[in-house]
């Protein structure tokens, strides 16, 4: 006879079980594709965590924007706002940060870098505000509006780097590079201060959601907007708007950090889809800000290892997309299993028995 309590405890475990299952599955796919699994695994290890350079200068550098955008997605989802536009908000933030960096090149770094980051935050919030207004005024679903705004931002970047912000020779579709004063200071190897910002923001958002009235309102609105409005007298629209703007601001910060800490310029393809991967990061972390840190590092290692597998073992790097899709599917499957186990083991309440008259 099985122990229902033990079953619930196992199913309530972290979603990193889903990541482990997805990794096992993808290496089965690698073997089925005719590749050398031993060579692929070795290349994956060396390229992601096999050395201090791989871990700090590759994995954590790739993880930084994923953590920031994962926090943006998690923040919105916790409030019941389905913000799928982190990619566009990242692009808006990166564009604004580079514009400020190029316009104020003579400023000292102590003023220039904070100004670039602030511009990225403001641009990301402003970009998300478009979808917020469309939902509040015209009832447009945020899933649709934020997704469409991603494409507008993508083509907007193309216009900027082929038009008003293009480098002086007008030959290449990118801007000139930021000056040294406009770049985030390095920490270890290629790792920059942006990772520290991501860690601090994750801890700050965890504290806010857990210990403040604002965080409580966001959580109750995400759990049930109708109940929050009727029983808790929470202003649902105001909370949702605040979550929308805050989510866009964090995503815009991610774009500014990427531009000032990694690329040092704006160009087409500045983001290889970080905004979409961030959804998987947030889901893997179960929308927990501190969990997003671990999930972001995990996905950063996946991308770093995938590049090494392609370079050293001939395995196409698109296998990382397979892993990400499997992670999302595994998370959904485990959540469904948790719900099923909880409903099967929940105590039943007997209906009241009428007293004899």
Between 321 and 228, whose confidence is greater? 228
Residue 349: the pLDDT is: 52
Residue 33: the pLDDT is: 75
Pairing label, strands 186-188, 191-192: antiparallel
Q: If you average pLDDT over residues 223-227, what whole number do you get?
A: 88
Q: Per-residue pLDDT for 4 more than 50? A: no
Q: Per-residue pLDDT for 9 more than 60? A: no
- One-letter-per-residue 3-state SS of the chain: CCCHHHHHHHHCCCCHHHHHHHHHHHHHHHHHCCCCHHHHHHHHHHHHCCCHHHHHHHHHHHHHHHHHHHHHHHHHHHCCCCCCCHHHHHHHHHHHHHHHHHHCCCCCHHHHHHHHHHHHHHHHHHHHHHHHHHHHHHCCCHHHHHHHHHHHHHHHHHHHHHCCCCCCCCCCCECCCCCHHHCCCEEECCEECHHHHHHHHHHHHHHHHHHCHHHHHHHHHHHCHHHHHHCCCCCHHHHHHHHHHHHHHHHHHHHHHHHHHHHCCCECCCCCCHHHHHHHHHHHCCCCHHHHHHHHHHHHHHHHHHHHHHHHHCCCCCHHHHHHHHHHHHHHHHHHHHHHHHHHHCCCCCCCCCCCC
- Full-model pTM: 0.89
Between 218 and 231, whose confidence is greater? 218
User: At 265, phi and psi to the nearest 5?
Assistant: -165, 170
**Gap between the Cα atoms of 105 and 179, Å rounded:** 7
Q: Per-residue pLDDT for 355 more than 90? A: no
Structural Rg of the chain based on CA atoms: 23
Contact assessment for residue 159 and residue 295, using Cβ atoms and an 8 Å cutoff: no
Residue 5: the pLDDT is: 46
Beta-ladder partners of 174? 267
pLDDT digits (tens, 9 = 90+) for 187-217: 998 999 999 999 999 999 999 999 999 999 9
Reported as a pLDDT band with limits 50, 70 and 90, residue 58 is very high
Domains annotated for the chain, with CATH where assigned, are: 14-339 (1.10.3470)
**Gap between the Cα atoms of 267 and 316, Å rounded:** 25
Within 10 angstroms of residue 350's Cβ, the number of other Cβ atoms is 5
**Gap between the Cα atoms of 290 and 274, Å rounded:** 19
Residue 6: the pLDDT is: 42
Task: Provide, rounded to the nearest whole percent, the portion of the chain with pLDDT above 70.
Answer: 92
**Gap between the Cα atoms of 40 and 187, Å rounded:** 30
From first CA to last CA, the distance across the chain in angstroms is 43
pLDDT digits (tens, 9 = 90+) for 147-183: 999 999 999 999 999 999 999 999 999 999 999 999 9
User: At 192, phi and psi to the nearest 5?
Assistant: -120, 180
Handedness of CA 47, 194, 268, 327 (dihedral sign): positive
Chain mean position to CA 176: 28
Highest mean pLDDT among 85-94, 132-141, 236-245, 312-321: 85-94
Q: Per-residue pLDDT for 350 more than 60? A: no
**Gap between the Cα atoms of 178 and 261, Å rounded:** 10
Contact assessment for residue 17 and residue 286, using Cβ atoms and an 8 Å cutoff: no
């Amino acid at each position: 006879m099985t122990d229902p309590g033990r079953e619930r405890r196992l199913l309530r475990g972290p979603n990193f079980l889903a990541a482990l299952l997805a990794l096992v599955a993808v290496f089965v796919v690698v073997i089925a594709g005719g590749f050398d699994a031993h060579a692929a695994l070795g290349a994956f290890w060396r390229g992601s965590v096999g050395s201090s350079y791989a871990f700090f200068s590759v994995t954590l550098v790739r993880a930084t924007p994923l953590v920031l955008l994962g926090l943006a997605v998690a923040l919105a989802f916790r409030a019941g706002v389905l913000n799928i536009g982190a990619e566009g908000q990242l692009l808006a933030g990166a564009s604004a940060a580079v514009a400020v960096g190029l316009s104020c090149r003579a400023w000292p770094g102590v003023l220039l870098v904070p100004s670039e980051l602030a511009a990225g935050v403001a641009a990301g919030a402003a970009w998300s505000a478009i979808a917020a207004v469309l939902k509040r005024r015209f009832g447009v679903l945020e899933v649709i509006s934020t997704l469409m705004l991603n494409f507008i931002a993508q083509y907007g970047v193309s216009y900027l780097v082929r038009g008003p912000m293009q480098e002086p020779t007008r030959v290449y579709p990118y801007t000139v590079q930021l000056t040294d004063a406009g770049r985030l200071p390095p920490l270890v190897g290629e790792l920059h201060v942006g990772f520290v910002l991501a860690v601090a923001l994750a801890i700050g958002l965890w504290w806010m959601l857990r210990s403040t009235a604002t965080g409580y309102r966001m959580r109750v609105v995400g759990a049930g907007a109708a109940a929050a409005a009727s029983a808790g007298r929470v202003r649902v629209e105001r909370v949702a708007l605040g979550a929308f703007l805050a989510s866009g601001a964090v995503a815009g910060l991610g774009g500014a950090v990427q531009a000032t800490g990694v690329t040092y310029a704006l160009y087409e393809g500045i983001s290889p889809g970080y905004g979409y991967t961030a959804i998987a990061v947030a889901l893997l972390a179960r929308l927990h800000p501190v969990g997003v840190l671990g999930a972001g590092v995990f996905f950063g290692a996946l991308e770093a290892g995938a590049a090494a597998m392609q370079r050293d073992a001939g395995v196409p790097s698109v296998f990382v997309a397979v892993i990400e899709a499997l992670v999302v599917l595994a998370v959904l499957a485990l959540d469904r299993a948790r719900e099923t186990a909880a409903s099967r083991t929940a105590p039943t309440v007997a209906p009241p028995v009428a007293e004899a008259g």
